[in-house]
């Protein structure tokens, strides 16, 4: 459920919802004996299949992210043509890498690094609290990243916070601890590390069905305004479905 399941496959997936139908038997004069009642079997409509996970090169449609059996919430987004996914909780455009790549990902955040470059030993202590406001406040306070104040928005019909973080363009990642510039951790020990100087992220934080989620759309200085708007529209199409 974290950034570990990367296995691009050039395949498009289309899933149709299964719908039950009523089947009428032959009536009088229609292949059956006159005046002989014929039972009419019925089948209950089966539940609509969930949207497919994003695997390979995607065709425009709805896709389910953060959808492993252990995940408490399924996040469904409407994605246009041209994105790719590995079936997990991240989708990409232009490979997601500099100079113009984009990525959208979902995280369960446990704690935040106060220092992104010299991150060893810099986690908040005590750890960031469990609420949307707690996490938004912690991220907005980071002084070594250009962080905006969090603003109130709605996401999937739920109250949420949105803010932006930009990594300085003059940071030399090779001089950072482990060669990585980090921002936060997951409960399982994963860490959000950035892909390059100047990386910009728009971040949404929401509590859905009792689970706090962070969703970000990542881009770079060379990313076009049109592509940034497309990524934002994908995130803002999100809806949340309980898995348990």
pLDDT of res. 93: 96
Domain boundary assignment for the chain = 55-242
Give the residue-averaged pLDDT of 110-124.
98
Class of domain 55-242: alpha beta
Provide the CA 99 distance to its chain's centre, in angstroms.
22
- What pLDDT score does 125 carry? 97
Q: What gap in Å lies between CA 41 and CA 125, rounded to an integer?
A: 64
Whether 241 has a pLDDT exceeding 90, the answer reads yes
pLDDT confidence tier of residue 42, bands split at 50, 70 and 90:
very low
Q: What is the pLDDT of residues 189-233, one digit of tens each?
A: 999 999 999 999 999 999 999 999 999 999 999 999 999 999 999
**pLDDT at position 5, please?**
31
In whole numbers, what is the pLDDT of the chain averaged over residues? 83
pLDDT of residue 8: 32
Q: Can you tell me the mean pLDDT for 118-137? A: 98
pTM: 0.80
Specify whether the CB–CB gap between 84 and 91 falls below 8 A.
Answer: yes
What's the CA gap between 67 and 83, in Å, rounded?
18
Q: Is the pLDDT of residue 104 over 90?
A: yes
pLDDT for 48: 60
Nearest to 124 by CA among 183, 170, 37, 172: 183
The set of residues, in sequence order, having a beta carbon less than 8 Å from that of 71 and lying 6+ positions away, is 1, 243
Confidence at residue 50, expressed as pLDDT on a 0 to 100 scale: 83
């Amino acid at each position: 459920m974290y950034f570990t399941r990367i296995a691009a496959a050039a395949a498009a997936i289309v899933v149709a919802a299964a719908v039950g139908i009523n089947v009428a038997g032959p009536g009088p004069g229609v292949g059956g004996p006159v005046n002989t009642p014929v039972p009419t079997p019925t089948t209950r409509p089966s539940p609509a299949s969930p949207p497919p996970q994003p695997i390979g090169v995607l065709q425009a449609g709805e896709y389910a992210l953060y959808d492993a059996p252990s995940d408490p919430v399924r996040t469904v987004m409407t994605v246009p043509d041209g994105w790719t996914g590995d079936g997990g909780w991240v989708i990409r455009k232009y490979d997601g890498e500099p100079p113009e790549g984009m990525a959208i990902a979902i995280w369960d955040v446990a704690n935040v690094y106060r220092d992104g470059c010299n991150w060893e030993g810099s986690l908040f202590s005590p750890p960031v609290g469990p609420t949307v406001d707690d996490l938004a406040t912690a991220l907005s306070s980071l002084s070594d990243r250009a962080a905006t104040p969090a603003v109130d928005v709605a996401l999937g019909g739920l109250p949420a916070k949105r803010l932006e973080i930009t990594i300085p363009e003059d940071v030399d990642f090779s001089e950072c601890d482990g060669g990585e510039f980090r921002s936060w951790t997951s409960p399982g020990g994963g860490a959000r590390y950035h892909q390059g100087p100047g990386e910009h992220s728009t971040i949404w934080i929401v509590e859905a069905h009792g689970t706090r989620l962070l969703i970000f759309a990542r881009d770079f200085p060379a990313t076009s305004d049109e592509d940034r708007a497309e990524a934002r529209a994908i995130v803002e199409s999100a809806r949340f479905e309980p898995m348990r």
